[in-house]
Every structure is written in structure tokens, then in C-alpha cells.
Amino acid sequence: MKSFPTALETFRNCPRKYAFDQDPEIKKAYRKPTVETFVGSCVHDALERFFNPYLTPPAKRTYEVLVQHLRDAWSAKDLRGKWGAQRRDERKVLFAGDREKEAAAGERAKHLLWGFVQTQDLKAVPYTSESFHEIPFGGGRHVLAGKVDRVDREGDALKVVDYKTGKPKTVDQVRADDLQLAAYALIVGRKFRAPVSRCSLIFLQDSREVGFEPDAEWLAAKEEALLGILDAIEEERARPDGPGKFPPTPNALCAWCDYRPLCPEGRASLGEDADGAAPAPAGEELPF
């Protein structure tokens, strides 16, 4: 079974959401794009083109060039097939011709990139950029895969870099909770048979890089955690169909879950009734 760390984190947070994500029909019907994910995708695409030495030679890397890559990604200029169609559809759904709303989102994306060019080495030539990598995992029982934002060479070692457009975290928070970065370190180190000397998250919103050396003890603990999740998924898959299969885990993320209409437990945790509406406070006079 090929698995991606983002899906494993989803299972860790809520097995039911993971199951819904794995069903193409349910996902298509209920998952909706957001401005945040759209901006994030365009920013990642722009940085990928920016660090491609064939598209953007290091001597020509400027903020203005990076913004042009952003505009190309935004309009899906060089995205072909289903990826280009998906980007154009998302843009249409999110902004619906509202030029003011779209301009505000574009300015936010430009702000993220402005901070990046002020703090990062623009002449770096990544070993890989926005590339898919995978390895056999758990003695060959699984395949662990991921699209790694950037891998840099540092002498004989490698540095794994992941761009984030959300709120920044501390080193301690990343070391404790982040499975994605750990998975990337395991994948890259084993695929290229080289030590990973540093794992870094670049939080574009605050122009801050949070990094650390992934020591052997930390990597071993994260590998054990990832294997535990993969084994738990296999156990759920083997269960007979019924209400106990892939059970929900109501939590603070329920408020942003697209699958709330399918999850009474999630709605109940938010104080919503069966129709998904919040009940009126006791004693409040209704307007009808």
C-alpha cells in the first residue's frame, strides 16, 4: 500500500476523515477548495519554477521574476491536462469573477514571496525541487511516498526543506508533532543513501526558518509512529463494513471539515443539530 504522510496525519487526527478522503466519489462531492490552499499551491509552483535552473538561472532570480512565476501558476499557464483544468476550476469557484477578492489573495501570496526573497539564498541550486520520492517501508509491507518541496546538498549530506504558508511553529512543536517532515527525511535519506543533516520548515507568513538536526533516536521514533499508523489503517481496512469501521475522532478540526454533513459525531461535538445548524440558545426569542 502506497501512503503519503499527509494522509497518515489525517488518519491520526480522524480515521473517518481519512476514509472519506480515500473514496473518490465522496471526496469529489464534499471536498471544496479554499483560498488558503489555492494560494499555497500557487506559491509552491512559483518556487518550484524559481529554483529550476533551466527555467530561472540563478543570476536572474529576483522578486519580480518570482512574482511572474506566481502569476503563471495562478492562471495555470503551464499546467496541462487535469492539473491545469483543476487549477482553473478552483480559481473560478473561489473568486467567481470577484476581482477585489482575487486581488487580495494575490497580494497575500506576493507578501509570502517577498519575505522569502529577503531571507533565503536565491542562488541555491536544489538537489531536487517539488519532486515525488518513495521507498519500500516496514520490511516491504508498505510504500512511503511524498512530494518533497526541496532537497539541498550539504557536502555529503542532504537537507530537507518544506515550505509552509500557515502559522509558524517552534522547533519543539515540529519535533514532537510533525510526521510529514520526518517521513521526508526517512524517504530522502534512504532513497539517496545519504545522511540527512538538517530538516527545515520555512514559514513564509513570518519569513522564519525552523530547523534542526534529525538525530537517529528521533528518526527511529518517527519511523515507529508512522509504521503504527500504517498498521492501524490495515487493521481498519480488514474490519467488516459497519459503523465501527474507521471511527470518527471529534476534535477542534471538525469546524473546518468538509465532511461534517456525513458525520453526526463531528456535528454534535460542535453543538450542531442533525441538519448541521447550531441550535438556538435556550430562552432566545425566535424571529418567526
What is the mean predicted confidence (pLDDT) over 268-278?
A: 71
Tell me the pairing of strands 2-3 and 128-137: unpaired
- Mean pLDDT of all residues belonging to the chain: 92
Query: pLDDT value at position 242?
Result: 87
Query: Tell me: the pLDDT tens digits for 194-228?
Result: 999 999 999 999 999 999 999 999 999 999 999 99
Give 204's contacts (C-beta < 8 A, 6+ positions apart).
43, 112, 113, 115, 116, 163, 164, 165
Locate 19 and state its grid cell: 476514509
Query: pLDDT value at position 1?
Result: 79
What is the mean predicted confidence (pLDDT) over 141-155?
A: 95
Q: Provide the residue ranges of all domains of the chain, joining segments of one domain with +.
A: 25-119
Query: Tell me: the pLDDT tens digits for 169-184?
Result: 999 999 999 999 999 9
What is the torsional sign of CA 44, 49, 50, 52? Answer: positive
* 163 DSSP β-pair partners: 202
